[in-house]
Amino acid sequence: MVGQSKIRRVLNAIGLYGAIFAYVAFALFPIYWTVKISVTPENLLYSEGIKLWPTHMTLKNYETVLRASDFPRYFLNSMIVSIATALIVTAVASLAGYALSRFRFQGKAWVSLVLLLTQTFPLVMVIPPIFRIMGQLGLTDNLYGLIVIYSAFNIAFATFLMQSFFDGVPKDLEEAAMIDGCTRIVALRRIVLPLTLPGMGATVAFVFTAAWSELLFALMLINSEDQKTFSVGLLTFIGKFAVDWGQMMAASVMALIPVCIFFAFLQRYLVTGLTAGAVKG
Amino acid sequence: MASVTLSNVSKVFGAVKVLSGIDLAIKDGEFIVLVGPSGCGKSTLLRIIAGLEEESGGDIRIGERRVNNVAPRDRDIAMVFQSYALYPHMDVARNMGFGLMLRKEAPEKIASRIGEASAKLGLGALLARLPKQLSGGQRQRVAMGRAIVRDPKVFLFDEPLSYLDAKLRAQMRTEIKALHQSLNTTAIYVTHDQIEAMTMANRIVVMNEGIVQQVGPPLDLYDRPTNLFVAGFIGSPTMNFMSGVVTLKDGSRVRLGDGSLIAIAAQGVKEGQAVTLGMRPEHLAMSENGIAGVILVVEPLGMCTQVAVKVRDELITLMVMDRAPIAPGDQVKLSIAARDVHVFDRASGQRIG
């Protein structure tokens, strides 16, 4: 019996790790393939057939992208737009989420409902009106327009996200602080905000990533070369007669870098459990 | 230290009346326990005194000052929450000193006050720990410490012991009472546990459905409950109730459903009045004659024995001090002294005599 159960446990472990490995391989393969193509010399790309590992490696694609294309400009534009959007959305969503979590007010149910409704429209449907409105406001073909649009479209979800984080901070803590001598604002700043930092980190990461990889609005609103974000910029590698795969993949790999750095940096905020010990669990 | 006076305090949530017409005068230094079943409004009343909930009507005074529109932080109160509500990102010392720090007290003074309080509560070795590194009982103590370092006019306790296990609860009960005796600060304590109320209070306030049922010292409530609710709520095991009709031929007696007669001492009963009799388990005794019943369960507790007797359809509990040779199925008769029988009008539930 004992031997059998041990075999079973080993088989279970093999099955479990096998499944995890398969999933990770599945998720990481496109990234690997992007990196592989970006370092493959152009002349081998079509001639050597499909090889799992690169036979020759070169950084020429990276060099070309950095030196001879507008990619650094696109990259900077994306950074500006994404960081600004993430900060604006997180600030607004934090305040709105706090209000929805803590206060009873007239029309609260409607506010939530309307926020939810904004999430149900297919983006394609709202493009024509948005294009006109942005044109009248003079917000086409510049980064401000993108920041406004991205903020508008991410605030609803971010608000719900932040509301759930505020819901996770017991009301008792604030009340204790208010009896201890805080006003509501001071209690928010000294007690609630430190405890919702992981939530804010998650929201910043989420919004940053969404803005960073957005293509549709950027494509529609931006025409000038110097205002393009990298997602639009990637399309410039697709020519009329040929696609420059090597350079496009090199640019894609570089576009991944800030997101990776960002998540590595935010990882410690993303771990839950900071509120452990506040109340009897 | 200060008195707390509530006059005609009421609270309405939408269409629901949570509290109505609460009048209560709490003396300086008194330990008052608000007790009642869940939903009776006791916690709401405490939160109104704290300023965390807004009253719908009436006046709240702490000392001579009317505090209706005063923010919680300016009421000079301290509160111990049921959940303890310790700040999870601050260590024990900062949790305790937070209120003093906000009041811009000198760091040396804060340190010395934390030192005193932690010595009193046995928290000296834990000052650098975070709440999550503490046991339930330790967290409870830190919550108490946070209240006492402030040296407030009034302590408010919102069911502070309900998350502790039975043994720790009994221990903390004693500690809180001893603490109150040494500090002598006015304390208002909310609980649903009538044993906590009985053991800790100078005076108990029994509440039900948003109304104060009775206010008085624990033994007064035990000996002379003013209505059926208080009679049934205070005391463990609970009071036994039997219905009957008053007959005044050859002295005051009550005829029970099975025809047996119980002598009562209560004055002011009328012939033919429908009443409910209340009998404490320790006042009932097995004897030669009285109410007939069959023993259902015998529960020896060591010091005494709790016996459940089936009288017709009702279960009657009695406490027997001597170790009588009794067993389930035995036929017994129960008697009680006339002065120990509580008589309540059946229609109104109010005490008679």
Pick from B73, B130, B131: CB nearest A179 = B73
Cβ neighbours around B283 below 10 Å, total: 18
User: Of A134-138, A269-273, B123-127, B323-327, where does mean pLDDT reach its minimum?
Assistant: A269-273
Cα B235–Cα B26–Cα B85 angle in degrees, nearest 5: 80
Predicted confidence at residue A277, as pLDDT, reads 43
Residue in chain A closest to B75 (alpha carbons) equals A179
Main-chain phi, psi angles of B10, to 5 degrees: -135, 160
Residue in chain B closest to A174 (alpha carbons) equals B85
**pLDDT of residue A172 exceeding 80:** yes
Question: For residue B59, what are the contacts with CB-CB under 8 A and spacing of at least 6?
Answer: B5, B6, B7, B8, B9, B66, B68
Cα A204–Cα A205–Cα A207 angle in degrees, nearest 5: 65
Q: What distance in Å separates the CA atoms of residue B208 and residue B35, rounded to the nearest whole number? A: 9
Q: What distance in Å separates the CA atoms of residue A193 and residue A169, rounded to the nearest whole number? A: 10
Pick from B71, B73, B83: CB nearest A279 = B83
DSSP A223: -
C-alpha to C-alpha distances, A16 to A19, A29, A155, nearest whole angstrom: 5, 20, 38
Query: Which residues of A lie inside 8 Å of B (Cβ-Cβ)?
Result: 170, 172-173, 175-183, 186, 191, 194-195, 274-280
Which residue, among A172, A179, A185, would best test binding to B if mutated, counting the most B CBs under 10 Å from its CB?
A179
**Chain A partners of B70 at a C-beta cutoff of 8 Å?**
none
Hey, what are A131's tokens?
């294009």
Which residue, among B48, B89, B158, would best test binding to A if mutated, counting the most A CBs under 10 Å from its CB?
B89
pLDDT in tens, chain B (353 residues): 799 999 999 999 988 999 999 999 999 999 999 999 999 999 999 999 999 999 999 999 999 999 999 999 999 999 999 999 999 999 999 999 999 999 999 999 999 999 999 998 889 899 999 999 999 889 999 999 999 999 999 999 999 998 888 888 998 899 899 999 999 999 999 999 999 999 999 999 999 999 999 999 999 999 999 999 999 999 989 999 999 999 988 778 999 888 888 999 988 899 999 999 999 999 999 998 889 999 999 999 989 999 999 998 889 999 998 887 889 999 999 999 999 999 999 999 999 98
Predicted confidence at residue A47, as pLDDT, reads 81
Say if residues B248 and B79 touch (Cβ distance below 8 Å): no
Query: Closest approach of chain A CAs to the CA of B100, in angstroms?
Result: 8
CB contact under 8 A, A179 and B78: yes
CB contact under 8 A, B88 and A276: yes
Question: For residue B325, what are the contacts with CB-CB under 8 A and spacing of at least 6?
Answer: none
Residue in chain A closest to B149 (alpha carbons) equals A180
Query: Closest approach of chain A CAs to the CA of B146, in angstroms?
Result: 9
CB contact under 8 A, A275 and B88: yes
Question: For residue B12, what are the contacts with CB-CB under 8 A and spacing of at least 6?
Answer: B18, B56
CB contact under 8 A, A173 and B132: no
Cα A128–Cα A133–Cα A137 angle in degrees, nearest 5: 145
The size of chain A, in residues, is: 281
Residue in chain B closest to A280 (alpha carbons) equals B83
Average pLDDT, chain A: 87
Residue in chain A closest to B99 (alpha carbons) equals A180
Task: Assess B131–A contact: CB distance below 8 Å, yes or no.
Answer: yes
**Chain B partners of A181 at a C-beta cutoff of 8 Å?**
73, 98-99, 102-103
Main-chain phi, psi angles of B191, to 5 degrees: -155, 160
Pick from B77, B133, B163: CB nearest A179 = B77
Asked if the peptide bond before residue A41 counts as cis, ω within 30 degrees of 0, the response is: no
Query: Closest approach of chain A CAs to the CA of B72, in angstroms?
Result: 5
The size of chain B, in residues, is: 353
Predicted confidence at residue A275, as pLDDT, reads 45
Hey, what are B164's tokens?
């502790």
Q: What distance in Å separates the CA atoms of residue B125 and residue A197, rounded to the nearest whole number? A: 30
CB contact under 8 A, B52 and A178: yes
Question: What does pTM read for this prediction?
Answer: 0.81
Chain A neighbours among B 66-125 (CB < 8 Å)? 71-73, 75, 77-79, 81-89, 98-99, 102-103
User: The complex's ipTM?
Assistant: 0.85
**pLDDT, tens digit, for every residue of A208-262?**
989 998 988 998 888 888 899 988 988 888 877 778 888 899 999 998 888 888 7
Which residue, among A104, A106, A180, A197, would best test binding to B if mutated, counting the most B CBs under 10 Å from its CB?
A180
**pLDDT, tens digit, for every residue of A80-94?**
999 999 999 999 999
DSSP A39: T
Query: Closest approach of chain A CAs to the CA of B184, in angstroms?
Result: 20
CB contact under 8 A, B52 and A176: no
Which residue, among B79, B103, B130, B134, would best test binding to A if mutated, counting the most A CBs under 10 Å from its CB?
B79
CB contact under 8 A, A181 and B73: yes
3-state SS of chain B? CCCEEEEEEEEEECCEEEEEEEEEEECCCCEEEEECCCCCCHHHHHHHHHCCCCCCEEEEEECCEECCCCCHHHCCEEEECCCCCCCCCCCHHHHHHHHHHHCCCCHHHHHHHHHHHHHHHCCHHHCCCCHHHCCHHHHHHHHHHHHHHCCCCEEEEECCCCCCCHHHHHHHHHHHHHHHHHHCCEEEEEECCHHHHHHHCCEEEEEECCEEEEEECHHHHHHCCCEHHHHHHCCCCCCEEEEEEEECCCCCEEEECCCCEEECCCCCCCCCCEEEEEECHHHCEEEEEEEEEEEEEEEECCCCEEEEEEECCEEEEEEECCCCCCCCCCEEEEECCHHHCEEEECCCCEECC
Residue B243: HSE in the Cβ half-sphere, 13 Å Cα cutoff: 9
Main-chain phi, psi angles of A212, to 5 degrees: -60, -40
Predicted confidence at residue B17, as pLDDT, reads 92
**Ramachandran assignment for B235, one of left (phi > 0), alpha (psi -120 to 50 degrees), beta (any other):** left
**Chain A partners of B131 at a C-beta cutoff of 8 Å?**
277-278
Q: What distance in Å separates the CA atoms of residue B139 and residue A184, rounded to the nearest whole number? A: 24
